[in-house]
Amino acid sequence: MRILITTSPGLGHVLPTISFAHAARAAGHDVLYAMGGYVSAVSDAGLQVVDASPGTDYAQVFQSFGAEHFAKMQQAQGDLRRTMELALQMFAKVSEPTLETVVRVADKWQPDVVLRTPLQAAGQLAAGKLGVPLVTLDLGMGRDRGFDDMREVTYRELREHFEQHGVAEAPKSAVRLSVTPPSVGPAEDAWPMRYVPYNGGSVLPEWLLDRPSQHRVLITLGTVLPNFGLGALEPIVEAVSKVDAQFVLALGDVDLTSLGELPGNVRAVGYLPLGALLSTCDAAIHHGGAGTTMTTVDAGIPQIVVPQGADQFLNADTVQANGLGQRASADEVDVALIERLLGDADWQANARRMRAEMHAMPSPVDVVDRLAGFVG
């Protein structure tokens, strides 16, 4: 079986596909990525990738939407359908630099199936043109996001490209892979698949392997948000300075000067694999990105989620609804809430229960076998 994978630009979209790709390769199938942005994350994982948008500055693409679009997303946080529509509009534009190259690669390589992340339109276009099954890999722990049901938004935004290739509509996914644990309630037509975190390789500092005498808590905003400023962290850093615990601030390679002098109980690190960090932590405070949320669930620890946009609000609500922690604004993350994060027995028990439930789901290896049978 030949599997062409295409993702949206961003580590939070690329990394969740790697475990599936490794499982497919280990089973003897051929895997090729065609995508734009973070292509080195794929090649560093030992996989083959074609850069579908060399030279594209995706930070500029996102910034071209301006503050108005992001303000609309903030305002629509209580309206899931409107939030999805705004996300699809934005990611249609983000997909555009990759469309023609992904289609050419698909024409040349002739995959049996195209797998994409939920907002990458290039996968829809390539699968529609070749007439092969489209597989969508969900990224987060929310109930069916319904993007397939709103694929007319993508088609409307990119009509010229679809018509140019004779594709009359954005195709519906033949298979949707859901990493949502059963008790959270994934859609009945999705194939369940265990979320196996992949966060890249790294040379780990030895201190990370030491069990601290205090509680250790991860604080992160993911890989995208820090590039737009660290204002959301200022009240959180102020609060943690008054808590008897060790905090690891993982923001990647960004300028931290806006936060001032960090408290003595806060250790700033560059990039370290999230799974390795969380395996030594007792809790996490984060932005609600799908990969961060899922990797925290895999670690079996409670979490405070401070969502900033897109599906982060859904992830935060899902965490709270399932008793894994709490959704909060940055100003609400005070000493009392952080101490609850470290001491709430119900949150801790629910986090362990959800981890066990997720680990019992079919592995990527099982799902690859099932997909091979489906494709024939």
Q: In what order do the strands lie in the sheet with 266-269?
A: 266-269, 246-250, 216-220, 283-286, 303-305, 325-327
233/220 Cα distance (integer angstroms): 9
**Structural domain includes residue 201:** no
**Structural domain includes residue 200:** no
CB 236 within 8 A of CB 333: yes
Q: In terms of Cα–Cα distance, which of 90, 111, 102, 93 is closest to 160?
A: 93
State whether 26 and 158 are in the same domain.
yes
What total of structural domains would you count in the chain?
2
Cα separation values, 144 from 182, 183, 291, 311, Å? 12, 13, 16, 12
State whether 29 and 138 are in the same domain.
yes
Any idea what the CATH number is for the domain that residue 285 is in?
3.40.50.2000
Helix (H) / strand (E) element for 21: namely helix 11-26
> What was the pLDDT predicted at 234?
80
Collapsing DSSP states into helix, strand and coil, what is residue 255?
coil
**Residue 254 burial (CB count, 10 A):** 16
* Per-run averaged pLDDT (10 residues), the chain, 376 residues: 95 92 98 96 97 89 72 67 81 92 98 96 96 93 67 91 94 94 80 93 85 88 63 80 89 72 84 88 92 94 87 87 93 93 96 96 97 94
State whether 212 and 157 are in the same domain.
no
96/44 Cα distance (integer angstroms): 25
Counting beta carbons within 10 angstroms of the beta carbon of residue 2, is it exposed (0 to 12), middle (13 to 18) or buried (19 or more)?
A: middle
Counting beta carbons within 10 angstroms of the beta carbon of residue 8, is it exposed (0 to 12), middle (13 to 18) or buried (19 or more)?
A: buried
CB 325 within 8 A of CB 281: no
322/353 Cα distance (integer angstroms): 10
State whether 85 and 152 are in the same domain.
yes
Q: What share of the chain is helix, strand, coil (3-state, %, to 5)?
A: 50, 15, 40
State whether 17 and 162 are in the same domain.
yes
Cα separation values, 106 from 4, 50, 101, 102, 130, Å? 7, 11, 8, 6, 8
23/27 Cα distance (integer angstroms): 6
Instruction: Give the predicted TM-score (pTM) of the model.
Output: 0.89
> What was the pLDDT predicted at 16?
92
List pLDDT tens digits, range 342-356: 999 999 999 999 999
Domain range for 235: 206-359
State whether 113 and 261 are in the same domain.
no
The partner residues of 5 in beta bridges, in order of sequence, read: 33, 115
**Structural domain includes residue 341:** yes
State whether 154 and 249 are in the same domain.
no
Query: Which token pair is 74?
Result: 């903030």
368/376 Cα distance (integer angstroms): 12
- Residue burial 168-181, b: 16+ Cβ < 10 Å; e: rest: eebbebbbbbbbbb
DSSP annotation of 141 reads S
DSSP annotation of 232 reads G
